[in-house]
Amino acid sequence: MTDWTPYTQRARTWFEHLRDAICAEFEAIERETGSDASFVYTPWKREALPGEADDTGGGTRGVMKGKVFEKVGVNVSTVAGGLAKDFAGTINGASADQNAFTATGISLVAHMANPHVPAVHMNTRFLTTTKAWFGGGGDLNPPIPYEDDTAEFHAAFKAACDGFAPDAYERYKAWADEYFYIPHRGVHRGVGGIFYDHLECTDEAVWEANFAFTKAVGEAFLAVFPRIVRRRLGLPWNAADKAQQLEWRGRYAEFNLVYDRGTLFGLKTGGNIDAILMSLPPEATWS
């Protein structure tokens, strides 16, 4: 059986590198508009559950509130422990009797000040139970959609997918369309992107291929989203545009609180509450 410990550390190092690059780019956008907003980083430690070792990992929550980014959170965490027995059966490769896990990943959500600039979500992660796998993706969430923004966002992720497998983009786009859907509203929460999970690593060679794809997903996001932000951040907006944004944010909050797997996983594994709920918008309305 493969010891995935060094591979978890390699994934963690990459996720931290990606965080630093993204945060630097977002801060650069703020500087371009005359804002001195910067990320504030708050480390946290996972509280060990009964029977676990004292050191079960933790992470760092990075949050910036600026002129362009009304609220953006970029979290990196690396945790280990035992899944609650009533939850373990819902996780790939785990059960009530075999509930040990490790998880490392990056999670990002940005809510923008200008309603013409789309909100966005991106995350990638590596987990182990009795199995080891990667998951992740990203999706664009514009209150006021623009076809060229949508096309460019999808093209960036398609390029990442095409380097992995010929049919990956079609499969992961369809998965995103299915996953990022709000059943009780009958609407998607945005214009989609990609979503993949349980990309299993059966040996070291497969891990390397899956890791390369996961890095390509992160690099695609870093390349495309800042371009879209810069394109839209100077557009004028009015009260009606803001009202549309705030109502849309309510839908976003509903999805994350009711359906999002990552929210549930964080809550069930002793994660930091503020980090888990950093995806919620700073302001929203419900009619």
> Which residues does the annotation mark as catalytic?
121
The amino acid at residue 234 is G
Q: How many CB atoms lie within 10 A of CB 198?
A: 12
Q: How many CB atoms lie within 10 A of CB 63?
A: 17
Phi-psi map region of 270: left, alpha, beta (phi>0 left; psi -120 to 50 alpha): left
DSSP 207-224: HHHHHHHHHHHHHHHHHH
Specify whether the CB–CB gap between 261 and 136 falls below 8 A.
no
Q: Give the end-to-end CA distance of the chain in Å, rounded to a whole number.
A: 54
